[in-house]
Amino acid sequence: MSPDPRIAYLGPAGTNSETVAHCFGQRWSQPAWLATSTIAQVLHHVAQGHADYGVVPVENSLEGSVTTTLDLLWQLPDLYIQQGLILPILHSLVSHCAEINQIQRVYSHPQALGQCQYWLEEHLPHIPWLPTRSTSEALQYVQPEAGSAAIASPRAAQLWHLPILAQDLAADNFTRFWVVGGIFQREGTHTSLAFSVPANRPGALVRVLAHFAQAEINLSRIESRPTRRSLGEYFFCVDLEGAQTQPRIGAALDGLGRETSRLCNYGSYTITPVEIPVDCPN
C-alpha cells in the first residue's frame, strides 16, 4: 500500500466532510489530516500538491448540487475522482436555550440551512438564518451569544460539548461526496465528465447526448453550470453508469471529442455508502 497520504477536507472538527474523510482514510495507518476553512481550499490544496486527496461534497438529496465543487473542478487542471461516498446527513439544532421560542438567530452552512428550510419555516419562522463556512464553524457562535442556535451533526455537538435542543430536522437526507486526487482511473461503476459545446450550433447538446443514447449508456445526473465568462454560456456535468474500460463507453467518449468544444474526463470510480460513526448519538 502507498505511504500515508495527506487528506484535505472542510473543517473544523465534526463536519460531515470530516466523517467522510475519516472513512476514506481508514485504509492507511496514519494519514496527515488537513482541515480547511472552505470547500474551494480543499480542491486548491490538491491541485497545488499540498494534499494527495481532497474530500468534497458534490450533491445532496434535498438541495441538489454543491456548485463550488462542480465549478472549481471545471477550472482546475489535472484533478480526477478517486471514489464516491454517500453519507446519511443528520441535522440537529444545537443551543443553550431551554425552549425553541427563545432562539433569536440560527447559524449554519447554506447547504444545511437549505436542507432544513421546512423545519425552520415551521418552528422558527421569524428569525434570521446566518451562513457560516461549515456546520461545525456554526457551533462557535452557540456559546458566546445568548439566543443563538446552530445546525450541525449530533457528532459535532458531542465533540464540542454542546447541548442538542431538537433532532432530525430533515428526513431522507443524503450527501454524495467525491474523493479527488491526481490519479486518472479507468475502472469503476461510474464515470463523470464535464463538457461545453460549440456556441450557436443548433442541437449541439442533443448531438452529445445521442452518443450516450446510441451506446445505451444510462446518465445518473446531468447539470448545467454557467462558465462565468458571459451570460447564457454554460458547461454541462454528467455522471454515467459504467466504467470507461467498457468498450461502448470508451467509444462514446471518443465520439464526444468531436461534438464538444472542451471535454474534461474526471475518470471512473466506485461509490460506497458511509456509515455514521458508532460512537455518535443520533
Interacting residues with ligand PRE (CB under 6 A)? 10, 15-17, 57, 60, 66, 89, 109, 111-112, 134-135, 175
Report the residue number, 66 or 243, with the smaller CB distance to ligand PRE: 66
Measured from the CB of residue 265, what is the shortest distance to ligand PRE in angstroms? 25
DSSP string of 40-104? HHHHHHHHTTS-SEEEEEEEETTTEE-HHHHHHHHHSSS-EEEEEEEEE---EEEES-SSGGG--
Measured from the CB of residue 20, what is the shortest distance to ligand PRE in angstroms? 8
Q: Which of 185, 176, 193 is nearest to 238 (CA)?
A: 193
Report the residue number, 176 or 211, with the smaller CB distance to ligand PRE: 176
Report the residue number, 95 or 135, with the smaller CB distance to ligand PRE: 135
Long-range CB pairs of 200-203 (<8 Å, 24+ gap) are: none
Contacts of 56 (CB under 8 A, 6+ apart): 9, 10, 17, 39, 42, 43, 66, 69, 177, 178, 180
Report the residue number, 89 or 256, with the smaller CB distance to ligand PRE: 89
Measured from the CB of residue 231, what is the shortest distance to ligand PRE in angstroms? 26
C-alpha cell at 56: 468534497
Query: Which neighbouring-strand residues pair with 271?
Result: 84
Measured from the CB of residue 127, what is the shortest distance to ligand PRE in angstroms? 20
Report the residue number, 170 or 215, with the smaller CB distance to ligand PRE: 170
Report the residue number, 25 or 242, with the smaller CB distance to ligand PRE: 25
Contacts of 30 (CB under 8 A, 6+ apart): 4
C-alpha cell at 62: 434535498
Report the residue number, 135 or 148, with the smaller CB distance to ligand PRE: 135
C-alpha to C-alpha distance for 177 and 55, rounded to whole angstroms: 7
* 3-state SS class at 114: helix
C-alpha to C-alpha distance for 218 and 8, rounded to whole angstroms: 32
Measured from the CB of residue 69, what is the shortest distance to ligand PRE in angstroms? 8
Measured from the CB of residue 274, what is the shortest distance to ligand PRE in angstroms? 11
Measured from the CB of residue 42, what is the shortest distance to ligand PRE in angstroms? 10
Cis peptide before 273 (omega within 30 of 0): no
Q: In three state form, how does the secondary structure of 197-210 look?
A: CCCCCCCHHHHHHH
